[in-house]
Amino acid sequence: MTDRPKLLGISGSLRSGAYSTAVLEALKAALAPTADLTVLTLNDVPLYNQDEDGATQPAGAAALRAAIAAADGVIFASPEYNYGPSGAMKNAVDWGSRPYAKGTLLGKPVLVLTSSPGSTGGIRAQASLRESLSAAGARIVAYPHLAIPNVGDKIADGAFTDEKTVKFLTGGVQALIKEIHLLAAHAKG
């Protein structure tokens, strides 16, 4: 790891024009002076199937795992569907958690954020997603839950339009970067 962390942002929405992807792209621009953020969508990742998880695996799953492994930290950005994260997001955690106790998420610093056009910002999806990430052995950053309500009013043309949202999200990312540096210092010492 260098002083400039490599972050991976995983968008949990498959639709074109997804708010989760838009939030990550806007965050990428906001973080440009301090960190490199790569945004990954999950459109090419098939449903987890242990029968296909051997010496070779589907290309989309292999690419997801490689991206997680190469990142110093991961930002999971999910919409809320039926009080939980999207199926695509849960599926990404499943691929990242395998093989058991050796998956690419094991020990990886992660940050969770949700967004919604509604008033709750997808906060109910966070509990389930955090629990799945915890089971995968990820290091979930201790920071207030990052939920963006009325997200359509807070982002436009690839940028944030609401200063409070930018400060809240970048504060979460700074906590993630602090965790990354802490782990790197511990590994050296």
Label the pairing between strands 155-156 and 159-160. antiparallel
Chain segment 152-164, per-residue pLDDT in tens: 999 888 888 999 9
User: Which two structure tokens, joined as six digits, stand for 138?
Assistant: 């990820």
Q: Is the pTM of this model over 0.85?
A: yes
pLDDT tier for residue 1 given thresholds of 50, 70 and 90: low
Q: Are 39 and 7 in contact (CB under 8 A)?
A: no
Cα–Cα distance between 132 and 48 in angstroms, integer? 14
Residue-wise pLDDT tens digits, 115-131: 999 999 999 999 999 99
